[in-house]
Chain A
Amino acid sequence: MELRDTPAEAEFRARLRAWIAANLPPELIGVGTRTEPLEALRTWSRSLSQAGYVGLTWPRQFGGGGGAHGLDAIVLEELARAQAPQHLGAIGIGMAGPTIMAYGTEEQKRRFLPRILSAQEIWCQGFSEPGAGSDLASVRTRSERRGNQFLVNGQKVWSSYAHLADWCILVTLGDPAAPRYHGLTYLLVDMHSRGVEVRPLRQMTGDADFNEIFFTDVQVPAANLLGAEGEGWQVAMTTLLHERATLGFALTGLLDAALQRLLQLAAGNPAAAEPWLSDIANEWIQLQGLKFTAQRSLSQLGATGMPGPEGSVIKLGWSESTQRVTKLARTLLGPQAVLDDGFWHHQQLRSRANTIEAGTSEILRNIVAERVLALPRSR
């Protein structure tokens, strides 16, 4: 066990911190997962890729750095610490890429992976539907095999980056007659295809990060099938495991940044903070617990190559802590909290989605109950 950075890690961290300070445009600080200002975000995402800070752990043959998983964790922590915005290619880097590495043909790996890393192509995720949220296996978007292609019809929802995306990882129903979990087909869909329509969804914050995607007779070449027909459930589970595992450090980094703001707020108003000291420290403790638990599960990932279900624990703890931190901050603001301060008010609203997106807290508790604690299934 070694809980400090190794000399190599410390040097990497210092170099990265200096690079971020020199390259992160001030107007992007705190932008988070929003997609404006778009051109500045594109430039920032490309410069991160060019500097070699994306795909550090990916194999060298696909343009990656071939490094240890710990480096990814450092990048995510440092970016969050600087309140840098999310890379526009986050879904490609964190979800599509690892899934293509696990299930893709050699041709698919060659075609897609380097362009994900270079930020040349942006990806979105087509999983949830109006009638299939937590219950992903009941998706209704149809894919029908027609010779050398699939014909896709249906609707997806809650899709971040879809309005910018070049490609979509799409879970479809290939065989309605197949038993549950066995009829799904996972496709890589060109978002510029005829019949793809994206409509932004306005959220309670007023932002529009999410979209609906409509597919009408969209033709997808059979070469863009990922895994086998009917194997879509397993492929989708790989995507979701990676989503939660690699998210861990970005999440704790975001919580860390919010917590630093909370501490500053408390320092500026000690009288208001006095009754809440125990609660404030509790969130710092929760953050350290999440960070070190993420490290513990990362050390396992290094050994097995597949993230374990512990990622669900981090996501669960993070989302609830983030909501509490926001409420604490608003309490410390006192009567000023009725005014929109441009940060905490947005956080208060945005954080409600944290226990819903990327697996609701209820579903994550089911996952932990069944897969980690081996309790009988609830349904």
Chain B
Amino acid sequence: MDFRLTAEQLELQKQARDFLDRKLPTSDLARTVDAGDGWDPASWVDIASLGWLGVSADEESGGAGLSFLEEAILIEEFGRHLYPGPYLATVGLALPAVPTEQLEALISGRVRWSACLEEDAGLVVNLQAIDQVVVESSEELLLVPAKGSPETSIDPSRRMGRISQTPDREVLATGEAARSLTVALRTRRLAALAAEAVGVAQQVLEWGLEHVREREQFGRKIGSYQAVSHPLVDSYVAIELARSLTYWAAWCIGRDDAEQRRAAIAAYTSASEAAVFTCERVIQVHGGMGFTWASPLHRYYKRALWIQHFGGPPRLHREWLARDLIGKAVRGAPRPTLSDEGGTTP
């Protein structure tokens, strides 16, 4: 076993961070997000030319032939910068359902996607910024043009819309094929949200640490008070565990591992809760400044809350997981995750 990012993966991470630092510095966030369509479509051209839309597509389709793990690394960085474009929508939500003949248009950046599963109740992520939507409808997967009305999202950096009913639809999959695709979409969605949440939490924790290292009250740096530092340590611990679980889930999805569903639930529940907790903690240690519009913290907090609501209540996911684990215990397996299932937890 080797739980390290490879040199190539670390390079990709650094490339993404440098690109986003340059193209979307925090100081520009308000200007980009609060105006017009809420994002800069020119960034999509750059992202396509960097090859980030075809990371996991095979080389015949014009992709890089890598895996979801590399995509998760990118989604984490996009989350860290609160990127408002439809990367999560296209790659994290829709990609497995995109027909092969349309992959080239996706990879080249000409067509952007999102997905709307039944639990989304007609709400579509980034409807204003995309062209096509994968829609789950009574056990079928449909391809529907991105037409509808804008809604006010709790996160201004992640616009939402409500899709219109339209006869203009194409059937992507039915029956067993649709069922297995929607399972794949749901699993990938949770892992993608987890990666984004880790990025959000990491950035906010770093701001919190910078602040308490410098801010003085009663003649001391406030980071020296344990009432301030220990909750930040708890955040750090939660983020590190969530990061491990997220890479595990992303790896499982990339390898089509038997444990991908459980791993994705573990990653999503821990990362989304870590992100909300970290934002709340860091707002608290910033005092009144953390409550202002001028601080970027509220934008990250809104994203963290959005992730947790869009992905569904962690508690419900955990209840499903517990039934799965206990069911396995009932069926007499001595442990829920034996390696003879082909799992990663021997």
Within 8 A of A (CB), among B275-329: 314-316, 318-319, 321-323, 325-329
In whole angstroms, what is the CA distance A9 to B242 when docked?
A: 26
On whether the beta carbons of B240 and A374 are closer than 8 Å, the reply is no
In whole angstroms, what is the CA distance A5 to B247 when docked?
A: 16
Query: Given known contacts A266-B322, A296-B3, A317-B241, is B226 in contact with A366 (CB within 8 Å)?
Result: yes
Nearest opposing residue in chain A for B235, CB measure: A373
Selected contact of A5 from candidates B233, B245, B319, B346, CB within 8 Å: B346
Selected contact of A280 from candidates B226, B232, B326, B335, CB within 8 Å: B326
On whether the beta carbons of B9 and A1 are closer than 8 Å, the reply is yes
Asked if A278 is at the interface (CB within 8 A of a chain B CB), the reply is yes
In whole angstroms, what is the CA distance A282 to B265 when docked?
A: 10
Query: Given known contacts A281-B319, A374-B213, is B345 in contact with A369 (CB within 8 Å)?
Result: no
Asked if A372 is at the interface (CB within 8 A of a chain B CB), the reply is yes
Query: Given known contacts A1-B69, A9-B1, is B230 in contact with A375 (CB within 8 Å)?
Result: no
On whether the beta carbons of A299 and B4 are closer than 8 Å, the reply is yes
Nearest opposing residue in chain B for A274, CB measure: B319
- CB of B2 to closest CB in A, whole Å: 5
On whether the beta carbons of B244 and A292 are closer than 8 Å, the reply is yes
For A375, the chain B residues whose CB sits under 8 A away are: 209, 212-213, 223-224, 229, 232
- CB of A70 to closest CB in B, whole Å: 6
For B232, the chain A residues whose CB sits under 8 A away are: 369, 373, 375
Query: Given known contacts A291-B345, A293-B244, A378-B224, is B329 in contact with A264 (CB within 8 Å)?
Result: yes
Selected contact of B237 from candidates A281, A316, A374, CB within 8 Å: A316
On whether the beta carbons of A1 and B223 are closer than 8 Å, the reply is no
- What are the interface flags for B85-114 relative to A under an 8 Å C-beta threshold, 1 for contact and 0 otherwise? 000000000000000000000000000000
- CB of B246 to closest CB in A, whole Å: 10
Interface size class of B (residues with CB under 8 A): 35 or more
Asked if A304 is at the interface (CB within 8 A of a chain B CB), the reply is no
Asked if A337 is at the interface (CB within 8 A of a chain B CB), the reply is no
Asked if B132 is at the interface (CB within 8 A of a chain A CB), the reply is no
On whether the beta carbons of A281 and B321 are closer than 8 Å, the reply is yes
On whether the beta carbons of B3 and A285 are closer than 8 Å, the reply is no
Asked if B344 is at the interface (CB within 8 A of a chain A CB), the reply is yes
For B319, the chain A residues whose CB sits under 8 A away are: 277-278, 281
Interface size class of A (residues with CB under 8 A): 35 or more
Within 8 A of B (CB), among A1-45: 1-6, 9-10, 13
Asked if B269 is at the interface (CB within 8 A of a chain A CB), the reply is yes
Asked if B251 is at the interface (CB within 8 A of a chain A CB), the reply is yes
For B322, the chain A residues whose CB sits under 8 A away are: 266, 273, 277-278, 280-281, 284
On whether the beta carbons of B323 and A277 are closer than 8 Å, the reply is yes
In whole angstroms, what is the CA distance A279 to B230 when docked?
A: 23
On whether the beta carbons of A286 and B229 are closer than 8 Å, the reply is no
In whole angstroms, what is the CA distance A282 to B318 when docked?
A: 7
For A73, the chain B residues whose CB sits under 8 A away are: 1
Asked if B35 is at the interface (CB within 8 A of a chain A CB), the reply is no
Asked if A349 is at the interface (CB within 8 A of a chain B CB), the reply is no
On whether the beta carbons of B241 and A13 are closer than 8 Å, the reply is no
On whether the beta carbons of A260 and B244 are closer than 8 Å, the reply is no
In whole angstroms, what is the CA distance A290 to B328 when docked?
A: 22
On whether the beta carbons of A292 and B247 are closer than 8 Å, the reply is yes
Selected contact of A292 from candidates B3, B9, B236, B335, CB within 8 Å: B3
Apart from A5-B346, A70-B1, list 7 A-B contacts with CB within 8 A.
Answer: A266-B322, A278-B316, A310-B240, A365-B229, A366-B226, A375-B229, A376-B223
- For the complex of A and B, list the 10 residue pairs with the smallest distance between their C-beta atoms, beginning with the closest: A289-B241, A292-B244, A281-B318, A277-B322, A281-B322, A375-B223, A295-B3, A278-B318, A263-B329, A369-B229
Interface residues in chain A, defined as those with a beta carbon under 8 Å from any beta carbon in chain B:
1-6, 9-10, 13, 70, 73, 77, 81, 256, 260, 263-264, 266-267, 270, 273, 277-282, 284-286, 288-293, 295-296, 298-300, 310, 313, 316-317, 362, 365-366, 368-369, 372-378
